[in-house]
Structure 1
Amino acid sequence: MTTLRDMKSGDHGRVQGFDAGAPSYRRKLLSMGLTPGAEFQVIRVAPLGDPVEVRVRGCSISLRKDEAAALLVEGLS
């Protein structure tokens, strides 16, 4: 398992859960549709890694580095 922060543009993944050390981001990510089991695609990553744009459930969402690091994901082929 890895974090969303470690993924590159064009990668596909599935949300597995949330980092236990970041409870403040959990509610925000859940409200944006990043629930366990949700599939997503990384659309683009800014040159310095902040923000990361993902498409999940038909919506594009931009996340800061800290928010992306709080999301545990599984890469899909």
Structure 2
Amino acid sequence: MGDTDKLNGWEQWGKYVVKELERLNTRYERLEEKLDRIDRRMVKVERIFWLLGGLLAVFTPVFIWAVIETIKRLLSL
């Protein structure tokens, strides 16, 4: 009878372990999905950052030139 009780105890423990592993696996998969979404967002943010940096690099000299030309014209009046 003692051996049967031990086996039932191990069986219950095994079921508990399997259940916990399944729960943890599900949680891990959800976290992976969240990280994938965050990675995609970060790629979008990086693209926007580089686009704005490029636009700033192109248009800053043009803006400065326009301001200087405007000041020259105002001073020549």
TM-score by length of 2: 0.18
> Highest relative contact order (Cα 8 Å, sep 6+), 1 or 2?
1
- Richer in helix (by share): 2
| Structure with greater Cα Rg | 2
- Richer in strand (by share): 1
